[in-house]
Chains A and B, each alone.
Chain A
Amino acid sequence: SPHGFPILPCSPGLHFLSFGNRVMRPMRASVSPNRGGGLDPLLTRCGRRFEELTNLIKTIRNAMKIRDVTKCLEEFELLGKAYGKAKSIVDKEGVPRFYVRILADLEQYLNELWEDKEGKKKMNKNNAKALSTLRQKIRKYNRDYESQISSYRQVPGGAGGSSSSEDDDDGEGMSAAAFLKKKEPSGDSRSKFLKKMEVRALPGVRGGGGIAHVWQFPPEMWKKCLESIDELLDMLFANPNIFIGENILEESENLSNFEQPLRVRGCILTLVERMDEEFTKIMQNTDPHSQEYVDHLKDEGRVCGIIGRVQSYLQEKGTTEEICRGYLRRVLHTYYKFDYKAHQREQGPAGDSKVLTPPTPLSAAVGRRGAVGGRPWGGAGRLSPLSPQILYNRTMVQLGICAFRQGMTKDAHNALLDIQSSGRAKELLGQGLLMRSLQERNQEQEKIEKRRQVPFHMHINLELLECVYLVSAMLLEIPYMAAHEFDARRRMISKQFHHQLRVGERQPLLGPPESMREHVVAASKAMKMGDWRTCHRFIINEKMNGKVWDLFPEADKVRTMLVRKIQEESLRTYLFTYSSVYDSISMEILSDMFQLDLPTVHSIISKMIINEELMASLDQPTQTVVMHRTEPTALQNMALQLAEKLGNLVENNERVFDHKQGTYGGYFRDQKDGYRKNEGGYMRRGGYRQQERQANY
């Protein structure tokens, strides 16, 4: 191949965004079948599949001869199917010339029939119907083989496909004859060009599925597409009298009448969406650690530029839905980025919230789409390779990390809880397949799942995610554990965090922490003792900076926030754990111990007292906290628990007794009495419980 491009695999169902329909050029001229008995090598080579095709073609030709259009239609459908089966061979060898020939001949034949008004009248009803159906079908079908057919028509007896396609290559490189035409200095070239565009964009609108395809545009060609889209947009901006839209019917198109606004069927937005999707695919299929990836990534700017231009175009001419679709595309490109410019502009805490905002309309959009059953946003959803679920998960994670940066640990924890507790964060975020479930899916599913993956540059750092989650869990869980040390029915805030703690405990030999998790566990242990300095040392150090904190924008701000949080929560933990040992504590000492200023200490302790977490009162003149020492000791707590349990036991036991009474009371009248007695029993128990509750306080 002269340009060193791989042969494009192609099948009838495979045609989105085909700018300048690429000529299916066979790799080796010898393979391409020629007219004179070229079938023989093919037959030996490709076996049954092509034989099947040729047989079908023979039948079609026979049917054509006897003007049996119904038969033609049937056979044509079979042919399409057979061709689909032969796809793998076609992918390798290129489209067989005999196939192109029958397509071209059939179309011509049908057109002749169609023009022949006299003959049409003579046809029976079935045939007439079949004629119109088949004509439409073949027109649609042939669009994908346009260039082959045209080249076939140019050289009907052609010595081979290669020569004709080389002609194309000489002209515009990869873009095919269609673009050459543009250069023709004729008056209506523009409309012609637009016509072409419509033709190409249409398959995208038509094809509902397309998800299963893994076929990918070669990057070089895709770049050419970018240029052409830019050109197209230039044209559209330069000529405001052109109207395009997929809702414009073919009949109502206006391509030549310059007096009236030009109306062209097609959709620039769909085109751009396809282009964007191809970009995603290119990114998906490139090794993320190669220079190539970086090079591709540089194109994103252009993609975003085009999307921006389309959007500004749509702002003037598009419908609301189209504007939204454009907006969605834009959001998809920006939501995962930190807007440094916006941040610099604002130079304040609002900068962060700015970043926080983009995901919100997106999530709203995604959410709405789910709610309305995909109607209004159907187009966008179909075109987006990411499933709404993954988008939702990613949004939640982004929100969680944002909240953490803002110091809202609770919100961060809640946002990340679902993703982290599943243990499948990687899968849920579309950042990789789990090896575990590899056996459970077949190849088809795997392909679909691979398509769902997010390109590497959009990946959320999983370690950072886990660290943010664990640290927020630590800040919540450690004071909570200290406060509810003796509570029998203590619930867990974070299972994942407890799991990590247990793993840490199980270690027979405890060395200095290595991994991020070990650091968090070690920090948690220090925090349990109220030792914020050690905790701080474990959370923020060189290792952790390199692994996690430096990845944040404004890392220093995050670290300052974190230190402060650690100090506060350590203070709370300290008070919970050791309040029973103190009669009173001076707040000044506490403020010194935890390096917090006095008002902060004051406010934290006040909050604890108000929430009835700490049984104490503040003594203003001496600036001390006076403990009430009303908390029961461990043993007392246990005794209370035992009392509660015994209460339950008694209750259950009484139920046995009730039951016996019920049974012995007989089935008839006495039963009612028996139950009434039971009620008395329950009341009595209620009384017991009340006593118990009083004993609790």
Chain B
Amino acid sequence: MASRKETTVAASTGSSAAASKARSKAAPGDSAVKQVQIDGLVVLKIIKHYQEEGQGNEVVQGVLLGLVVDDRLEITNCFPFPQHTEDDADFDEVQYQMEMMRSLRHVNIDHLHVGWYQSTYYGSFVTRALLDSQFSYQHAIEESVVLIYDPIKTAQGSLSLKAYRLTPKLMEVCKEKDFSPEALKKANVAFEHMFEEVPIIIKNSYLINVMLWELEKKSAVADKHELLSLAGSNHLGKSLQLLMDRVDEMSQDIVKYNTYLRNTSKQQQQKHQYQQRRQQENLQRQSRGEPPLPEEDMSKLFKPPQPPARMDSLLIAGQINTYCQNIKEFTAQNLGKLFMAQALQEYNN
């Protein structure tokens, strides 16, 4: 504890200083963070934030505070962002963050920016917005992570909190800002390689652990029946619906890409024909002893069609992947329960 405090004090010149310090500390390997350790306080704060502010498919967001120890990112505190409403258009986010961090520092709380958190609706979080903000975070503070909190899954009985980081590959692509098909192909980025999940450890102080044990003894077993209930089709239906929407988007995207391909090939053909005609003409001219026609700029004559950005389809694919995993997980659990129920029934009979 003491050592940690020292670090904080030493690096208390601001978040950028912390970042630079952390960078110097981190090994220049493929990823700066191997593990995320979250304080129970942070988890509770995030859950509370969603319960009080979020509803339906509205997401809540906030800033994570903490520090880096070796290859472990310790998240020790957080604070929420206010919900966006129309009437506070002049709300300055940066100033709000700075002020919050300054105030927290006054009460001796870790005030180093190490990432951000966001709630999600049925696991739909792989979006352009998330990518962009995580990129800017990771660009500025290399170790930063994004915590995704799924309130619906949590409500079903098991806490769902995941830490994600962009892969170095994706970081490179985002830095280049070139999302053309060629560039992505060159970078060899597929939807599987977009995000990496960082394992999470939730750490509580010993006193809290003791209390939890005590509480567990007191809590009635009846509360655990929920775990056994066969989940209704509602959750599955919602997930399917969302999955379907994404598949539709994907289809559209592919159609767009197809059109692009067709246009390019058509143009290629035209270009080829043009070149051939030119060649023949030049040959004729040569035989007649005339000077060949001057070279013309081909790129001016045939403007290549704008290639569609492939990042969106990558993101959609990533999202579909998440949905599929969610559904798989969900159904696997349910199947297990079904089998159990069947076995129980047979046993009773």
Residues of A within 8 A of B (CB): 633-635, 638-639, 641-642, 645-646, 648-649, 652-653, 655-656, 659-660, 662-663, 667
Are A659 and B244 in touch, CB under 8 angstroms?
A: no
Are A642 and B237 in touch, CB under 8 angstroms?
A: no
Are B272 and A638 in touch, CB under 8 angstroms?
A: no
* 8 Å CB contact of A642 from B243, B254, B269: B243
Q: List which B241-300 residues lie within 8 A (CB) of chain A.
A: 241, 243-244, 247-248, 250-251, 254-255, 257-258, 261-262, 265, 268-269, 272
A634 nearest CB across to chain B (Å) = 6
Among B265, B268, B269, max chain A CB count under 10 A is at: B265
* Extra A-B contacts (13), CB below 8 Å, given A645-B244, A653-B254, A663-B261: A634-B237, A635-B233, A635-B236, A635-B237, A638-B237, A638-B244, A642-B243, A649-B250, A652-B254, A659-B258, A659-B261, A662-B265, A663-B268
* 8 Å CB contact of A649 from B233, B254, B258: B254
A652-B251 contact given A638-B237, A659-B258, A659-B262, CB 8 Å threshold: yes
Give the complex CA separation of A656 and B253 in angstroms.
Answer: 11
Question: Does B240 make an interface contact (CB < 8 A)?
Answer: yes
* 8 Å CB contact of B248 from A645, A653, A655: A645
Chain A neighbourhood of B251, CB < 8 A: 645, 648-649, 652
Chain A neighbourhood of B265, CB < 8 A: 659, 662-663
B152 nearest CB across to chain A (Å) = 17
Are B237 and A649 in touch, CB under 8 angstroms?
A: no
Q: Please, which residue of chain A has its CB at the minimum distance from the CB of B232?
A: A635
Chain B neighbourhood of A646, CB < 8 A: 247
B72 nearest CB across to chain A (Å) = 41
Chain A neighbourhood of B243, CB < 8 A: 642
Q: Please, which residue of chain B has its CB at the minimum distance from the CB of A662?
A: B265
Q: Please, which residue of chain A has its CB at the minimum distance from the CB of B253?
A: A652
Q: Please, which residue of chain B has its CB at the minimum distance from the CB of A663?
A: B265
Give the complex CA separation of A634 and B236 in angstroms.
Answer: 11
Q: Which 9 A-B pairs have the closest CB atoms?
A: A652-B254, A635-B233, A638-B240, A645-B247, A659-B261, A649-B251, A663-B265, A642-B244, A648-B251
**Chain B: interface size category:** 20 to 34
Chain A neighbourhood of B257, CB < 8 A: 656
Give the complex CA separation of A369 and B243 in angstroms.
Answer: 57
Q: Please, which residue of chain A has its CB at the minimum distance from the CB of B262?
A: A659
Chain A neighbourhood of B255, CB < 8 A: 652
Give the complex CA separation of A634 and B237 in angstroms.
Answer: 8
Give the complex CA separation of A633 and B236 in angstroms.
Answer: 13
User: 23 A-B Cβ contacts within 8 A?
Assistant: A633-B233, A634-B233, A634-B237, A635-B236, A635-B237, A638-B240, A639-B240, A641-B244, A645-B248, A645-B251, A649-B250, A649-B251, A649-B254, A652-B255, A653-B254, A655-B254, A655-B258, A656-B254, A659-B258, A659-B265, A662-B265, A663-B261, A667-B272
Chain A neighbourhood of B247, CB < 8 A: 642, 645-646, 649
Give the complex CA separation of A641 and B247 in angstroms.
Answer: 11
Chain B neighbourhood of A633, CB < 8 A: 233
Give the complex CA separation of A655 and B262 in angstroms.
Answer: 10
B257 nearest CB across to chain A (Å) = 6
**Main SS of chain B's interface residues?**
helix
**Main SS of chain A's interface residues?**
helix
A540 nearest CB across to chain B (Å) = 38
Give the complex CA separation of A28 and B297 in angstroms.
Answer: 87
Chain A neighbourhood of B241, CB < 8 A: 638
Chain A neighbourhood of B272, CB < 8 A: 667
Give the complex CA separation of A639 and B248 in angstroms.
Answer: 14
B122 nearest CB across to chain A (Å) = 14
Chain B neighbourhood of A641, CB < 8 A: 244
* 8 Å CB contact of B269 from A645, A659, A667: A667
B9 nearest CB across to chain A (Å) = 54
Q: Please, which residue of chain B has its CB at the minimum distance from the CB of A660?
A: B261
Give the complex CA separation of A639 and B331 in angstroms.
Answer: 13
A638 nearest CB across to chain B (Å) = 5
Chain B neighbourhood of A655, CB < 8 A: 254, 258
B29 nearest CB across to chain A (Å) = 36
A256 nearest CB across to chain B (Å) = 87
* 8 Å CB contact of A635 from B240, B250, B261: B240
Q: Please, which residue of chain A has its CB at the minimum distance from the CB of B238?
A: A638
Give the complex CA separation of A223 and B218 in angstroms.
Answer: 102
A652-B233 contact given A638-B241, A639-B240, CB 8 Å threshold: no
Give the complex CA separation of A634 and B241 in angstroms.
Answer: 11
Give the complex CA separation of A506 and B258 in angstroms.
Answer: 40
Chain A neighbourhood of B269, CB < 8 A: 667
Chain B neighbourhood of A652, CB < 8 A: 251, 254-255, 258
B180 nearest CB across to chain A (Å) = 16
Q: Please, which residue of chain A has its CB at the minimum distance from the CB of B257?
A: A656
Chain A neighbourhood of B244, CB < 8 A: 638, 641-642, 645
B348 nearest CB across to chain A (Å) = 24
Give the complex CA separation of A667 and B267 in angstroms.
Answer: 12
Give the complex CA separation of A635 and B235 in angstroms.
Answer: 10
Q: Please, which residue of chain A has its CB at the minimum distance from the CB of B248?
A: A645
B244 nearest CB across to chain A (Å) = 5
Give the complex CA separation of A635 and B233 in angstroms.
Answer: 7
Chain A neighbourhood of B240, CB < 8 A: 635, 638-639, 642
Q: Please, which residue of chain B has its CB at the minimum distance from the CB of A648?
A: B251
Q: Please, which residue of chain A has its CB at the minimum distance from the CB of B273?
A: A667
Give the complex CA separation of A638 and B241 in angstroms.
Answer: 7
A105 nearest CB across to chain B (Å) = 80
Chain A neighbourhood of B262, CB < 8 A: 659
Q: List which B51-94 residues lie within 8 A (CB) of chain A.
A: none
Give the complex CA separation of A663 and B248 in angstroms.
Answer: 27
Chain B neighbourhood of A660, CB < 8 A: 261
Give the complex CA separation of A649 and B254 in angstroms.
Answer: 8
A426 nearest CB across to chain B (Å) = 37
Give the complex CA separation of A653 and B255 in angstroms.
Answer: 8
Give the complex CA separation of A662 and B264 in angstroms.
Answer: 12
Q: Please, which residue of chain A has its CB at the minimum distance from the CB of B250?
A: A649
Chain B neighbourhood of A663, CB < 8 A: 261, 265, 268
Give the complex CA separation of A662 and B244 in angstroms.
Answer: 31
Give the complex CA separation of A656 and B251 in angstroms.
Answer: 12
Are B261 and A656 in touch, CB under 8 angstroms?
A: yes
Chain A neighbourhood of B254, CB < 8 A: 649, 652-653, 655-656
Give the complex CA separation of A58 and B152 in angstroms.
Answer: 99
A577 nearest CB across to chain B (Å) = 18
Chain B neighbourhood of A642, CB < 8 A: 240, 243-244, 247
Q: Please, which residue of chain B has its CB at the minimum distance from the CB of A652?
A: B254
Are B258 and A656 in touch, CB under 8 angstroms?
A: yes
Give the complex CA separation of A642 and B255 in angstroms.
Answer: 18
Give the complex CA separation of A649 and B236 in angstroms.
Answer: 21
Chain A neighbourhood of B236, CB < 8 A: 635
A580 nearest CB across to chain B (Å) = 13
A679 nearest CB across to chain B (Å) = 18
Chain A neighbourhood of B268, CB < 8 A: 663
Give the complex CA separation of A207 and B261 in angstroms.
Answer: 66
Give the complex CA separation of A640 and B247 in angstroms.
Answer: 14
Give the complex CA separation of A660 and B254 in angstroms.
Answer: 13
A486 nearest CB across to chain B (Å) = 11
Q: Please, which residue of chain A has its CB at the minimum distance from the CB of B269?
A: A667
Give the complex CA separation of A663 and B264 in angstroms.
Answer: 10
Chain A neighbourhood of B261, CB < 8 A: 656, 659-660, 663
Among A633, A638, A653, max chain B CB count under 10 A is at: A638
B262 nearest CB across to chain A (Å) = 7
A465 nearest CB across to chain B (Å) = 39
A669 nearest CB across to chain B (Å) = 15
Give the complex CA separation of A24 and B257 in angstroms.
Answer: 79
Q: Please, which residue of chain B has its CB at the minimum distance from the CB of A642?
A: B244
Chain B neighbourhood of A639, CB < 8 A: 240
A394 nearest CB across to chain B (Å) = 45
B176 nearest CB across to chain A (Å) = 24
A125 nearest CB across to chain B (Å) = 70
Give the complex CA separation of A666 and B269 in angstroms.
Answer: 10
Chain B neighbourhood of A634, CB < 8 A: 233, 237
Give the complex CA separation of A656 and B310 in angstroms.
Answer: 14
